[in-house]
Structure 1
Amino acid sequence: MTLDWIFFDCFNTLIDDFDQTGEELALLPVYSLPAEVGLYTSAAEFRQHYHAWRNRQWQSEHREIEMGDRYQAVLQEKVPSMSLAELGKITTEMVARFQACYQQSLRLPDGVKDMLEFWHGRVRLGVVSNFYIQGWPTELLESFGLRSYFDFVVDSAACGWRKPGPHIYELACDVAKVSPVDRHKILFVGDHLLNDVLAPQELGMQGLFFDRSQVRPTYAPSKEGVNCITEWNQFRADFCIN
């Protein structure tokens, strides 16, 4: 296998979030605010509505919608008569709470720094991440001392497109100056089978699934025939893509 580049997903690949099971309990103060102001009966009711809205968006298109706009759209759907000024006040506070709570839930998976240290200088490295606050993948990689390993970071909020749509991958290839005929020299690595393996493969890249099911019980394990690892210490120069 000849590699020129490795493109990594960011969250739950290079940086873990929420608790070990993947539950979003850290975001309870965010989801509680709409209930505190009387729009929902509970944080759980808002969370259910938000997830249903988000899933509809994910199924319909691949444009990224930033966090504040997401919350505003959900609240408008719940209370169409609410003024934009009042919506803006609530969503601004929700985003502020999210930023504080989310950062507290973050940590590095075991072995990630050693893995990056190994590959840095052997091939070139980039990050292609879905996230709904512009620049946050870069900022959080910097805060954990990982940003210097990468030539670039492409995030969906900044470019306007999210995985698994083709635009964000094509943008990353353009940034890396990799032509379509050379995309087989890119290995995409991440914890989401569609976003980080199957969709990149459709565009000519190679894919490696970072199977987190052993540490996150709610995550589905790798499927038969999919190249995968379960720990970063398995990913070294003798690793082979079939």
Structure 2
Amino acid sequence: MGDFQWIFFDCMETLVDLTQLPAQKDYALWAFQGSGREDFWEGFEEFFCHYQLVKKTMGEEFPQFQEHEISRGFERVIRLKAPDAPGARISAIRDGLCRNFWTNYVAKCYVQDEVKMVLRQLVQDYQLGVVSNFTVMNGIEELLKKNGIDQYFRFVITSVKEGWRKPHPRIYQAALERARVAPESVLFVGDDFECDYAGPGRLGFRTLLLDRSDRFLHVPARVRNFPELLALAKPGEKGRML
């Protein structure tokens, strides 16, 4: 299928894993519990009710796949409770929720040793980039650096900066423009079937699904772990794994 020079990686659950795979309620709890702002609501259940309502209304209000920074949602949650609260108070509560969420999120993130080993070898033959959905500004960059793998990537493209999340074509196009290559020159690797396999595949990328749990046995281009990816990209077969 021809040569490629770049590998674009998804980040979360591909490069960086979580000790606890969160549900929507967990995301809300990580922001609320320990924030020092709990007494603004009658309790977590009220906060979570408002949190769910904001997610629903924002999903209906904005175009599909449009991305927003997490602080924007938290501010709406606060205004549901107290629409006439002074702006300074709303900002203080919002910032407390954001800080608490991020502290809890970062504490649950880690990178497997096998991922680090494979990246060290891939970077010798390929240029690497990250294309990730995320709602915390500069969050992916911080996670990569904190876990000691940021040096392997030429750039990081995130939905919160681009304004569109995968599988919207604009975020993939932003990555191609940054790399200055055509999609045929890129292998896209990630764990999400639609965002990392089907979506970029429709735009002409070569795609490889990371399927650690064997959920997509019907997908022809899949690996179960990072060492399998390395085996496909071994010297002498560079750019011809698919």
TM over 0.5, shorter chain:
yes
Aligned to 1:46: 47
Mapped pair 1:186 → 2:180: no
Mapped pair 1:222 → 2:216: yes
TM-score normalised by the chain length of structure 2? 0.82
- Is the alpha carbon distance of 1:200 and 1:106 closer, same or farther for their aligned partners in structure 2, counting shifts above 3 Å? same
Aligned to 2:12: 11
Amino acid in structure 2 at the alignment position of 1:121 = Q
Is 1:27–1:101's contact at 8 Å kept on the other side of the alignment?
no
Aligned to 1:132: 135
- Is the alpha carbon distance of 1:167 and 1:29 closer, same or farther for their aligned partners in structure 2, counting shifts above 3 Å? closer
- Shift of the alpha carbon at 1:188? 0.8
Q: How many residues align?
A: 231
TM-score normalised by the chain length of structure 1? 0.82
Amino acid in structure 2 at the alignment position of 1:133 = V
Question: What's the CA shift string for 1:59-95, capped at 9, x where partnerless?
Answer: 7433321111111123334544444333222111001
Mapped pair 1:164 → 2:158: no
The equivalences for 1:98-113 within 5 A come to: 98-113=101-116
Alpha-carbon RMSD across the aligned residues, in angstroms, is: 2.7
Distance 1:226 1:71 in 2: 41
Distance 1:52 1:195 in 2: 25
Distance 1:29 1:112 in 2: 27
Is 1:26–1:101's contact at 8 Å kept on the other side of the alignment?
no
Aligned to 1:238: 232
Distance 1:126 1:58 in 2: 29
Aligned to 1:218: none
Identity rate, percent: 30
Is 1:5–1:124's contact at 8 Å kept on the other side of the alignment?
yes
Is 2:37–2:97's contact at 8 Å kept on the other side of the alignment?
no
Structure 1 gap ranges (5+)? 215-220
Question: What's the CA shift string for 1:103-152, capped at 9, x where partnerless?
Answer: 11111134101111121121111001111222221122112111111111
